[in-house]
Amino acid sequence: MSVIDAQGETHRDQSSAAYNQLLERLGALSDLNSALALLEWDQETKMPEEGASSRSTAYATLSSIAHDLHTSKETLGLLEAAEREQAGADPDSDQAALLREARLDFESSTKLPADFIAEYARIQAGAQRVWVKARSGSNFDLFKPDLERIFAMARRKAEYLGYEEHPYDALLNEFEPGITTALLRGILADLKDRLVPLLAKIKKSRVVIEDKILRKTYSEDKQLAFCKELLEKMGVDSGRSRLDAAAHAFTAPISSPFDVRVTTRCIRDYLNSGVFGSIHEGGHALFELGVDRKFARTPLAQIKSMGLHESQSLLWENMIGRSREFWTYQFPLLQQRFPNQLLHERLETFYCAINKVNSSCIRLEADEVTYCLHIILRFELEVDLIEGTIKVADLPRFWNDRFEAMFGVRPSSDAEGVLQDVHWSGGAIGYFPAYDLGKIISAQLLAQAKIEIPNLMDSIASGNYAPLREWLATNVHQYGRKYSTAQLVRRITGREITCDDFISYLEEKYGELYSLSL
- What gap in Å lies between CA 490 and CA 185, rounded to an integer? 19
Closer residue to its own copies (CB): 64 or 136: 64
Secondary element (H or E) of residue 4: strand 3-4
Bond preceding residue 332 cis, omega within 30 of 0:
no
User: Do the beta carbons of residue 254 and residue 260 sit within 8 Å?
Assistant: yes
Q: Which residues on neighbouring strands pair with residue 267, listed in sequence order?
A: 270
User: Do the beta carbons of residue 441 and residue 372 sit within 8 Å?
Assistant: no
- What gap in Å lies between CA 9 and CA 152, rounded to an integer? 46
- What gap in Å lies between CA 430 and CA 171, rounded to an integer? 5
- Residue 238 CB, nearest approach to its own copies (Å): 7
Closer residue to its own copies (CB): 83 or 259: 259
Q: List for the chain the helix, strand, coil content (%; round to 5).
A: 65, 5, 30
Closer residue to its own copies (CB): 33 or 223: 33
- Residue 42 CB, nearest approach to its own copies (Å): 6
CA 469 to chain centre: 18
Q: Which residues on neighbouring strands pair with residue 259, listed in sequence order?
A: 255
Q: Please name which of 272, 34, 220 lies closest in space to residue 42, comparing C-alpha atoms.
A: 34
- What are the strands, taking DSSP E only, across 131-241? none
Closer residue to its own copies (CB): 187 or 243: 243
User: Do the beta carbons of residue 139 and residue 176 sit within 8 Å?
Assistant: no
H runs (alpha helix) in 50-139:
52-70, 73-85, 94-110, 114-136
Closer residue to its own copies (CB): 47 or 461: 47
User: Do the beta carbons of residue 124 and residue 426 sit within 8 Å?
Assistant: yes
Closer residue to its own copies (CB): 241 or 302: 241
- What gap in Å lies between CA 67 and CA 149, rounded to an integer? 26
Binding site for its own copies (CB under 8 A): 7-8, 27-28, 31-32, 34-35, 38-39, 42, 46-51, 53-55, 57-58, 61-62, 65, 237-242, 254-255, 258-259, 261, 296-297
Closer residue to its own copies (CB): 39 or 196: 39
- Residue 121 CB, nearest approach to its own copies (Å): 19
- Residue 118 CB, nearest approach to its own copies (Å): 17
CB-based contacts of 294, cutoff 8 Å, min separation 6? 4, 5, 6, 8, 94
Q: Please name which of 224, 357, 371, 386 lies closest in space to residue 310, comparing C-alpha atoms.
A: 371
Q: b/e per residue, 363-392, with b = 16+ CB within 10 A?
A: beebbbbbbbbbbbbbbbbbbbbbeeeeeb
Q: Which of 101, 281, 288, 368 is catalytic?
A: 281
Secondary element (H or E) of residue 251: strand 251-255
- Residue 20 CB, nearest approach to its own copies (Å): 16
- What gap in Å lies between CA 50 and CA 63, rounded to an integer? 21
- Residue 28 CB, nearest approach to its own copies (Å): 5
Beta-carbon neighbour count of residue 94 at 10 Å? Answer: 21
Catalytic annotation on 512? no
Residue 209 burial by CB count (10 A; 0-12/13-18/19+): exposed, middle or buried? middle
Closer residue to its own copies (CB): 35 or 461: 35
Closer residue to its own copies (CB): 49 or 92: 49
- What gap in Å lies between CA 460 and CA 486, rounded to an integer? 28
Catalytically active residues are 281
